[in-house]
Amino acid sequence: MSTDQADADLGADERRALADRLAGAGALSARWRETFEAVPRHLFLPPVYWEFVEGSAVPRDRGSDPDGWLAGAYRDTPAITQWDDGDEAAGRRDFTSSLSMPTMVALMLGDLDVEDGHRVREVGTGPGYNAALLAHRLGAERVMSVEIDRTVADLARANLAAAGLGGLRVLTGDGAQPDTGGAEPADRLIATCASLVTDVPAVWLDQTRPGGLIVAPSATLFGGGAVARLRVADDHRSASGRFTGSSDFMRMRQQRYQAPPVDAYLPGDWPGDAEASATGLDPEAIRASWLAQFAIGCRLPDLYYRRAPYGDTVTWWFFDTAVTSWATVDSVPGAVEFDVRQSGPRRLWDEIHAAWTAWEQAEHPGYERYGLTVTGSGERTVWLDDPDHHWSPPAR
């Protein structure tokens, strides 16, 4: 047996055990089980990766702990394979490439609803594991993947070749651009990086055939994310569908938001000209609900926040992207009212409170009640229960 074959065969028992867990949890369908058992996830991991466990990145080193390295490869956890776009001097501030949590991979592939003979375009190759699963299921010649990072794309090609799937086409380019690949529209498009709900690439409509499906995670600046499952209209001018569940993916590189410094909003000393008031809503209650953040973020897509702990008190800062308004709320444990400051032409906390109230009055709708419509002209509309019921802020 060759070294490559021995490495590919490694972890067979772990793959079966992972498939058992995913199937038992309802995430992995029978149609995908053989593929999950056949494709070695560890072949798509570098000698050192970081397993994301309970909010912490834990290093797994094959050289010093081969058993721990392999065990982490088959746990239901994300695996970080690149930090800071490969800038080693940055100090590992942000992870920028990874293998997604197997549960999320299985659920999104289930949402994709592929059939034999389908052609799939993937946006965001990463290390290549998701593309490998698609290639095993459909055939390597029916899958094309696009990766914006040249180093990551080269690594994915090598990983796929080691897994015996070197025939899969991996392009280096921007998956949100119309000229990537020059291929005819695919039956399915899947993204493994999150776009803003307000900026889902309209070009994906042209890259997917009429009646085809787009499965892509979307996020808001305010927080929260969900997987959208959109069907492309027969006239190719729009795609619409519901969200299927929560998600937390890395943002598309061209959509990363660089927030201006606080001084751009408040050039003098705090609280400046801010008006004081009080609220009964603790912003920590918003932080505790990924779903609430998603609902608020979809309703107020141009707002974001920062938390600043000071002892037991946490000051929440809220900003608009137009750099016109800001607000703060002081969260104090055990309090029933919280101090508010608001400045600028908008009252941001009042808008956030109103969005929270709208979500409560709608009886805390889950992700599956929200939907998204994207048009070729660039409109993106989030709706609740029905495409005609827009989940949008009141006119200002």
| Residue 86: pLDDT band with limits 50, 70, 90 | confident
**pLDDT tens digit string along 23-32?**
999 999 999 9
CB contact set of 171 (below 8 Å; sequence gap of 6+):
144, 145, 146, 147, 153, 180, 181
**Residue tagged active-site, from 100, 145, 218, 325:** 100
pLDDT of residue 2: 44
pLDDT of the residue at 221:
95
The alpha carbon of 263 is separated from its chain's Cα centroid by a whole number of angstroms, namely: 30
Compute the C-alpha angle 133/107/32, nearest 5°.
40
Measured N-to-C along each axis, helices 129-138 and 30-38 cross at an angle, to the nearest 10 degrees, of: 120
Tokens of 181: 């690949």
* Contacts within 8 Å (CB) and 24+ apart, 354-359: 354/394, 355/295, 355/296, 355/299, 355/300, 355/393, 356/281, 356/286, 356/292, 356/296, 358/299, 359/292, 359/295, 359/296
pTM: 0.94
Q: Which domain holds residue 324?
A: 262-361
Residue 100 known to be catalytic: yes
Q: How many domains is the chain partitioned into structurally?
A: 2
142 lies in the same domain as 274: no
Q: Is the pLDDT of residue 95 over 90?
A: no
Phi-psi region of 123 (alpha: psi -120 to 50; beta: other; left: phi over 0): beta
Determine, yes or no, domain membership for 114: yes
Q: Give the CATH number for residue 317.
A: 3.30.160.690
Contacts for 87 with CB less than 8 Å, ≥ 6 apart: none
The verdict on 133 and 277 lying in the same domain is: no
Count Cβ atoms within 10 A of the Cβ of residue 60 and give its class: 0-12 exposed, 13-18 middle, 19 or more buried: buried
My answer on whether 21 and 167 are in the same domain is yes
| Lowest-confidence pick of 51-55, 211-215, 286-290, 293-297 | 51-55
Average pLDDT, the chain: 93
Torsion angle of alpha carbons 385, 389, 393, 394, nearest 10°? -140
pLDDT of res. 165: 96
Is the torsion defined by CA of 62, 66, 71, 73 positive or negative? positive
